[in-house]
Amino acid sequence: MTDNIVIGKQEPQAERPPRMTLEEFCGNVRRMESQGQDGVSLFNEVISNGYAPELIAEDEFQHSRRLERITTEITRRFRQEGLRLVLVAGPSCSGKTTTSRFLTHMLRDNGIQPCVVSLDNYFLNLDQRPLDINGNIDYESFYGLDLKQLGRDVASLLAGDQVSMPTYDYVKGERAYHGNTLKLENNSLLFLEGLHALNPQLVPNIDEDVKFSLFITAQATIYYGEKVGLSEHDNRLLRRIYRDYNSRGASALQTLQWWPGVLRGEHMWILPFASHADAWFNTSMVFEFSAIKPRVAQLLHEVPESEPAEYQVAQRLSAVLDRIAPLTHDDFVAIAPKRKFLLSNEGK
């Protein structure tokens, strides 16, 4: 393992403190929390002593190693078993788009040309979407996709035809065609990326033997456990508050109001198919809350007391962020290009 993390201050002409890998760091935090101790303090010590770059580098290295294993399996199946289609799914703000981007870079290094199609571009126009039990547009429904058109396009692409590709305009709430086309070559591998990519009814006419399915999750990293006050979904909720503000101009209040519906949709349409995936990948990074803390803390502070349900959640999340040391601006700039969930262009 490389890029070790050093814990503790270095004094001039003193014996160098013991080195600690990311795995050892995580193990220490687990042991501290199991003993009722505050695991966040160890993380904050790493950040405050200026070792954030080492922590970030090691975390990125471990993520890359896990992605390389997935890339190796996809490459093997492409070359030996006729793999044609990679399905990348996961709940909101799990990191699907970022992970697909990393995988495509790695596969290109293996001589494979991935072609990524976002399922978001196959959403039906808003006036065609299904309604929920309250008569409102159901934004989370699987049947909000134009499944017939998607099925035709995927079949045509896999047959080697050139296909006109749609683009969904979130502002207008409608799908449009702007002359974009796609054609797969002999070394091409088609990616379908989106919330519902693992649903067996997405492209049911495509042979299962030519599919590889990947489920993307964002399970809370070790020092954001129960004793710190986070639920299993809060990792993604904090990401989404950050993303919605940057990409859609949405307030934290709006995101918190949408979130219960998002979770209901996930339990109905996404999570039931996760167990069938060929591989899982956890995108959580040990440093990510420190990276987004300055902006998200400000947004949470703006949630008004007049909205009690959302205000309560905002106060709970704020209390968690208050305990976590923020990254410096330089450290944030260094990691931001690598982790697009920290920016504004991550999909649903």
pLDDT digits (tens, 9 = 90+) for 207-261: 999 999 999 998 765 444 455 566 778 889 999 999 999 888 899 999 999 999 9
Question: Which comes out higher in pLDDT, residue 70 or 23?
Answer: 70
Half-sphere exposure of 266 (CA within 13 A, CB side): 19
Q: If you average pLDDT over residues 196-204, what whole number do you get? A: 97
Q: CA 10 to CA 128: how far, in whole Å?
A: 63
Q: If you average pLDDT over residues 13-39, what whole number do you get? A: 61
How would residue 161 be classed by pLDDT, with cut points 50, 70 and 90?
Answer: very high
> Which of the residue ranges 46-50, 112-116, 118-122 would you say has the lowest mean pLDDT?
46-50
pLDDT at 323 over 70: yes
| Of residues 326, 346, 340, the one with CA closest to residue 43 | 326
How would residue 41 be classed by pLDDT, with cut points 50, 70 and 90?
Answer: confident
Average pLDDT across the chain, whole number: 85
> Which of the residue ranges 138-147, 166-175, 205-214 would you say has the lowest mean pLDDT?
166-175
Q: CA 179 to CA 165: how far, in whole Å?
A: 8
How would residue 133 be classed by pLDDT, with cut points 50, 70 and 90?
Answer: confident
pLDDT at 190 over 70: yes
Q: Which residues of 131-164 are buried (b: 16+ CB within 10 A; e: fewer)?
A: eeeeeeebbbbbebbbbeebbebbebbbeeeebe
Greatest Cα pair distance in the chain = 71
Q: If you average pLDDT over residues 265-281, what whole number do you get? A: 95
In this structure, what token pair is assigned to residue 121? 């571009």
**What is the topology classification, in CATH, of domain 5-342?**
Rossmann fold (3.40.50)
Please give the pLDDT value at position 348. 55
Residue-range domain boundaries for the chain:
5-342
Question: Which comes out higher in pLDDT, residue 287 or 239?
Answer: 239
How would residue 10 be classed by pLDDT, with cut points 50, 70 and 90?
Answer: very low
Question: Which comes out higher in pLDDT, residue 289 or 159?
Answer: 159
Question: Which comes out higher in pLDDT, residue 242 or 16?
Answer: 242
Please give the pLDDT value at position 19. 52
In this structure, what DSSP letter does residue 66 have? H
Most confident option among 10-14, 131-135, 301-305, 319-323: 301-305
Please give the pLDDT value at position 287. 82
In this structure, what DSSP letter does residue 219 have? P
